Amino acid sequence: MDNKSLVSIDDYTKEEILEVLARAAEFEKNPNCNLLEGKVVASLFFEPSTRTRLSFETAISRMGGKIVGFTDSSSSSVTKGETLKDTTKMVSNYCDLVVMRHPIEGSARYASEVSDVPVINAGDGANQHPTQTMLDLYSIYKTQGTLENLNIFMVGDLKYGRTVHSLLMAMSHFNPTFHFIAPKELEIPLAYKIFMNKNNIKYHEHTEFNDIINDADILYMTRVQRERFADPLEYEKVKNVYILKNDMLENTRDNLRILHPLPRVNEIAVDVDENPKAYYFQQALNGVYARQAIIAKALDL
């Protein structure tokens, strides 16, 4: 039973994305309900996560469901050498829905094929994290009133950032113009440029982080991580270039909102937090509503 699972953002059509966003707006108005009454959700976190796990557990609790599971693999039978297949098979017998985070890429797709109940991917290594993408989309939709024809600026690590890649794929339904701001070492991978060329999506690449952001509707910041650089000198050169400071926002559009998947380290200066254009903390809250909508869809509720 694979069809109700959400493993990759590509599993949703454009219509399904819009349906889930509309549902998320309803949950935002009335977060507490009893849709999951009598249902058990297994929350299998094979690697630790704070935000994603708490936001899922909050979503489930607010819908009246019960949660079973573990928060890292050291407290599960994985330490005894059990395979993912066996763990998934066994747990899917107990529950109505599986929420899973796993460090191995492709593990969520495999689990969805083994499981008798739907699986929601809460991150499979560097591969996919579709519920993050849905909360990003919900945040964009809510702050801009539309997903169509927006100028989306993405800044930082565009090479390894899975949230960047999934958001790019999802936004491709809505005629965006992308601007990518990144050091050469962390530029957007070729595969995505080919994808955008094939689909006639407008994009521009920049290495300078300056007043070009004045045209932005959405500024999507990500962390530039030291461990991504083979040469530590290269990291030292770029580490302070991709930092957003409050004075850079002076001439930006009124509707601009700044998103960040969090955790932030230093790529957004603390003085930005007070700016009304800063949206990353509300964005994290939107994750609860987006996940409520995704759970409801997975269970046909």
Partner 1 sequence: MNAKKELQVSAIENGTVIDHIPAEYLFQVINILGLDNCDNSVTFGNNLESKILGKKAIIKIAEKFFEDDEINKISLIAPHAKLNIIKNYQVVEKKIVESPDKVIGIAKCMNPKCITNVEAVTTRFKVIEKTPITLKCHYCEKITDHKHIEII
Is 237 annotated as ligand-binding?
no
**Type of residue found at 59:** A
Is the Cα dihedral 141, 145, 146, 152 positive or negative? Answer: negative
Among positions 187-216, residues that touch partner 1 (CB under 8 A) are 191
* 118 annotated as belonging to a binding site for a ligand: no
* Minimum distance, C-beta of residue 203 to partner 1, in the bound complex (Å): 20
Beta carbon of residue 127, minimum distance to partner 1 (angstroms, whole number): 5
Q: How many amino acids of this chain bind partner 1 (CB under 8 A)?
A: 17
Q: Say if CB 213 and CB 174 are below 8 A apart.
A: no
> Can residue 116 be called a binding residue for partner 1 (CB under 8 A)?
no
Is position 77 an interface residue for partner 1 (rule: CB under 8 A)? Answer: no
Which of helix, strand or coil describes residue 57?
Answer: helix
Q: What is the DSSP string of 156-208?
A: S-TTT-HHHHHHHHHHGGG--EEEEE--GGGPPPHHHHHHHHHTT-EEEEES-
Residue 121 DSSP SS3: strand
Site for partner 1 in 126-165 (CB under 8 A): 126-128
In the complex, the smallest distance separating the C-beta of residue 81 from partner 1, rounded to whole angstroms, is 12
Nearer to partner 1, 57 or 124 (CB): 124
- 3-state SS assignment for residue 221: strand
* Residue 52 near partner 1 by CB under 8 A: no
**Rounded to the nearest whole angstrom, what is the least distance from the CB of residue 8 to partner 1 in the complex?**
7
Is there a catalytic annotation at residue 62? no
The structure tokens 């994750």 sit at: 287
Catalytic residue among 23, 39, 53, 101: 101
A 10 A CB-CB count for 33 gives 15
Q: Which of 14, 51, 184, 245 is catalytic?
A: 51
- Select 48 or 103, whichever has its Cβ closest to partner 1: 103
Question: Is 22 a binder of partner 1 (CB under 8 A)?
Answer: no
Closest to 73 measured CA to CA, from 110, 112, 107: 107
3-state DSSP call for residue 283? helix
C-alpha–C-alpha distance, residues 13 and 7, integer Å: 13
Query: Which helix (H) or strand (E) is 223 found in, with range?
Result: none
The answer to whether 20 and 12 have CB atoms below 8 angstroms apart is yes
> Does 90 contact partner 1 by CB under 8 A?
no
The interface region with partner 1, picked from 107-115, 136-144, 196-204, 266-274 by CB under 8 A, is 107-115
Catalytic residue at 257? no
Q: Is 228 annotated as a binding residue?
A: no
Is 179 noted as a catalytic residue in this protein? Answer: no
From 25-33, 60-68, 122-130, 214-222, span contacting partner 1 (CB under 8 A)? 122-130
Ligand-binding annotation for 222, yes or no, is no
Q: Tokens 């964005």 correspond to what residue? A: 283
Could you identify the residue written with the tokens 């819009």? 18
Query: Three-class SS of residue 292?
Result: helix
Active site residue 129: yes
Q: Which residue among 22, 68, 90, 104 contacts partner 1 (CB under 8 A)?
A: 104
| Residues labelled catalytic | 51-52, 80, 101, 129
Binding site for partner 1 (CB under 8 A): 8, 83-85, 103-107, 109-110, 124-128, 191
* Binding residue numbers: 51-52, 80, 101, 129, 132, 162, 223, 262-263
* Binding residue numbers for carbamoyl phosphate: 51-52, 101, 129, 132, 262-263
